[in-house]
Structure 1
Amino acid sequence: MAVNHSIDNDSIHRQHRSVPALDTLRGRIPQLLKDIARDASRRDLQRELPFEAFALIRQAGLGALRIPRELGGPGGSVSDYIELIASLASADPNVAHALRSHFNFSEAVIHSPDSAEKRDYVAKTLDGKLFAGAHTEVGAPLGTILTRLTRVGDGYRLNGRKWYATGSAYADFLSFSATDDDGKLISVLLPADREGIQVLDDWDGMGQRLTASGGVHLDNVEVHASEIKTRSHNAEVGRHCSTLRQLHLAACAAGVVRNIREDAVDYVRKQARAAMHSPADIARDDQFVQQVVGEISANAYAVDALIATTAAMLDQSAQALTVGSATVDQQLITASISNAQMQVVVAKLALRAAEVLFEVGGGSATSRKYNFDRHWRNIRTVLNHNPLLHKARVVGDFYLNENTTHLREGLVF
């Protein structure tokens, strides 16, 4: 099914937006979370894409969180951004995950040299625009780009089919990689409603079902010369953004664990009955139920702490990039190894929390109406984006052999 980008564009596109201060932005988050969480489980059950959530995010100005104050933004830190993603994920992890491409784009922009292009991207972000796109090819080896940009008269045409287009159904601008007539690798940034761009709602993963992570069909899409970019970037910025993309996903898992804790407490208080052989009269007084809720809560606490520690490391590497510090290479390595170690532990704690949630009740806890299984499905799907066995191996190689090759090359995905 193709996604119609015109669903709410008229109501959410506003010119000359006034960007709120950081404290004002933070103050808008609690109500936003309530609004997004309200129907999250139902949307998952009915596979209803959360367009309204992204309208609210635009209206709140959250997409501009990382734009520095000197560029007209609120100046939020990496820690602010990651906490936002974890909070959004506690309401709906699909919404949090779908913002990954946008924040990756804005992070690369703020660390790029001053240029007219950078100022244009910053202005669009401050105006509430969201960015996404896709680079992976359907039916091609990793790294192979089959999508073609062909010169036609004074302009260009783009044809191809992309996959893993996370967030593209909700974005205003989409980035795609392609090869030109000379075989050179390029990228284009196009309005999402450009004729010939068809975002397909065909993601069939068992979890994160509403992230719009499926395909995009590019059918003879018109491309202007000004929309073509030669694919090049500062290697150190690329390393920083790679680690940040991974941390974004871990923050999604962290938010799900917070939601598991909320569901466990709510279910026990409102629905659960004491087990037949329990010495307690009500479930909330059952010592084993208390133990399960305690374990889930401890896991949530530990996951949040690990996420926050890693985010602080990335704040340091981001600052090093900003000032051009001579220690930036070492700080990027420190951030990357912190992230890899965090991922391994968070994965185990998050999956464990999703598993033991069912121990707070009997057979009724598996009722479809509660949809508790979505937590495990969502966490497992998020974790599959980051190969944990590879991460653990890279960490071991680092400590045993002081090998930083994979950390420098960004191969911890």
Structure 2
Amino acid sequence: MSSPSSAHLDTALQTRTSRETILGRVPEIAAKIAEGASQRDLDRVLPFEAFRLIRQSGLTTLRIPENLGGPGGTVADLVEALCTLAAADSNVAHALRTHFNFTEALVLSPGTEKAGTYLPKILSGAIFGGASAELGTARPGDITATLLRHGDSYRLNGKKYYATGTAFADYAGFGAVDEEGNLRSVLLPVTREGIHILDDWDGMGQRLTASGGVDLVDVEVFEHEINKQVLDGLVGRHTSTLRQLHLAACCAGVVRNVLSDAQEYVRRQARTTRHSHAEKATDDHFVQQITGEIAASAFAIDALIAESARALDRSAEALTSKATNAEELVLESALTTAKTQVVISKLALKAAENLFEVGGGSTTSRKYNFDRHWRNIRTVLTHNPLLHKARVIGDYYLNETTTHLKEGRVF
């Protein structure tokens, strides 16, 4: 698979673009991305053009504060933009997850060498991807990729999977173990010799997120590309919650798309149900009820997503200002997002299923590709065990247990 080159990075982005300008561009970008989205899914065509538009818009810089040269967008701004993109094509929104996670960590660690190195690159239009996970290990999270010294540098070897968005990225992070068995992370340009990004993701949904493998064959790694800094524990927990909310925002966008498809289908093509006395589908009480249920689900999901984003903004502000209640607010945001995920998982899947009730058998035609909505939602929801998430929430409310709420990572 071809990889982007740093030559395309837009130096014009180094001139600050305002928050208002960037957010104002999102609906227009989304409209362009929506064109042909269903056909891309059917034909399995990766959305490289979408990422060119996103780079040019400045959206990838949104969370960088004004005092660091960015537009100063909030988490709420970002999440709403992601919902809008996901309503156009959930693959595109999902594929930006690693980038915004990485950016958030830098923004909340502004005095570090890493932030000083990579924030300017983001402001120039660079997108970040990467992968740590590997297939075939005894347990999820086990790492077999190696980073071994080779003369004055190192060599990275291994195979990664679930490299979501890396095909569209300029830099990618990978986890590996060194000679002493210590876990290391490296951050490399994707054009580095020996990095082979594979188009082998075969999931039933989110087909175009480039979530497949990366072969790492004797990749040269220099000392300065090895991350020796450990994220502050609270910052790591905050970014973990953002990663979870990012997935929820993808589901929210899909449900918006479900509602839009239901409206368009009923108005243009649907027939009344056999038992209806209405003359056209828009007046059919059965169809009206189903459409109303989809609309109500979309409304509820959007409200929950927005509340979770506000909780993350409070968490980010507390971390930035080193507030004494930062721990409390980081925990609150994790709990809020977890509850949101448990609820919207049911609403989103049901909404995608209900789409087939507005028009009967005709809605299953491949030309409409309506099943992609359910496939995409179901695939996003496989990232984390929802039964475990609900149990952790219950344990907190019954016993005030915070163990898993504080660990981040999978939860």
Give the TM bin, normalised by the shorter chain.
over 0.9
Q: What fraction of aligned residue pairs are identical, expressed as a percent?
A: 59
- Determine helix, strand or coil for the equivalent of 1:156: strand
- Rounded to whole Å, the distance in 2 between the matches of 1:380 and 1:116 is 39
Counterpart of 2:341 (choices 340, 343, 362) is 343
- Rounded to whole Å, the distance in 2 between the matches of 1:228 and 1:171 is 19
Which one-letter code corresponds to 1:238 in the other structure? G
Name 1:251's counterpart in structure 2. Answer: 249
Residue 148 (structure 1) aligned with residue 142 (structure 2): no
Asked if structure 1 preserves the Cα contact closer than 8 Å seen for 2:110 and 2:116, the reply is no
Name 1:40's counterpart in structure 2. Answer: 37
Counterpart of 2:317 (choices 280, 298, 319) is 319
Name 1:56's counterpart in structure 2. Answer: 53
Counterpart of 2:230 (choices 232, 249, 260) is 232
1:278-305 Cα offsets, whole Å, 9 max, x none, are 2111111101101111000000000000
What are the ranges of 5 or more consecutive residues in structure 1 without an aligned counterpart? none
Note the C-alpha offset of 1:19. Answer: 2.8
Counterpart of 2:111 (choices 107, 111, 114) is 114
Name 1:391's counterpart in structure 2. Answer: 389
- Rounded to whole Å, the distance in 1 between the matches of 2:247 and 2:71 is 23
- Determine helix, strand or coil for the equivalent of 1:137: coil
- Determine helix, strand or coil for the equivalent of 1:146: coil
- Determine helix, strand or coil for the equivalent of 2:320: helix
RMSD value over aligned CA atoms?
A: 1.2
| Correspondences of 1:353-372 after superposition (within 5 Å) | 353-372=351-370
Asked if structure 1 preserves the Cα contact closer than 8 Å seen for 2:349 and 2:378, the reply is yes
Note the C-alpha offset of 1:115. Answer: 3.4
| Correspondences of 1:168-183 after superposition (within 5 Å) | 168-183=166-181
- How many residue pairs match? The answer is 409
Asked if structure 1 preserves the Cα contact closer than 8 Å seen for 2:270 and 2:359, the reply is yes
**Which stretch of structure 1 is more off in the superposition, 107-116 or 12-21?**
12-21
Counterpart of 2:122 (choices 125, 138, 146) is 125
Note the C-alpha offset of 1:411. Answer: 5.5
Note the C-alpha offset of 1:142. Answer: 2.3
What TM-score, normalized to structure 2? 0.97
- Rounded to whole Å, the distance in 1 between the matches of 2:256 and 2:279 is 28
Note the C-alpha offset of 1:88. Answer: 0.6
Name 2:259's counterpart in structure 1. Answer: 261
**Structure 2 CA distance for partners of 1:218 and 1:403, relative to 1, 3 Å:** same
- Rounded to whole Å, the distance in 2 between the matches of 1:224 and 1:15 is 26
1:294-333 Cα offsets, whole Å, 9 max, x none, are 0000000000000000110010001000011111111111
- Rounded to whole Å, the distance in 2 between the matches of 1:13 and 1:330 is 39
Note the C-alpha offset of 1:167. Answer: 0.5
Note the C-alpha offset of 1:14. Answer: 2.3
- Rounded to whole Å, the distance in 2 between the matches of 1:9 and 1:367 is 42
Name 1:87's counterpart in structure 2. Answer: 84
Asked if structure 1 preserves the Cα contact closer than 8 Å seen for 2:10 and 2:56, the reply is no
Which one-letter code corresponds to 1:332 in the other structure? V
Note the C-alpha offset of 1:228. Answer: 1.1
- Determine helix, strand or coil for the equivalent of 2:11: coil
What are the ranges of 5 or more consecutive residues in structure 2 without an aligned counterpart? none
Note the C-alpha offset of 1:386. Answer: 2.1
Note the C-alpha offset of 1:412. Answer: 5.3
Asked if structure 1 preserves the Cα contact closer than 8 Å seen for 2:188 and 2:225, the reply is yes
Note the C-alpha offset of 1:9. Answer: 6.0
What TM-score, normalized to structure 1? 0.97
Asked if structure 1 preserves the Cα contact closer than 8 Å seen for 2:145 and 2:156, the reply is yes
Name 1:165's counterpart in structure 2. Answer: 163
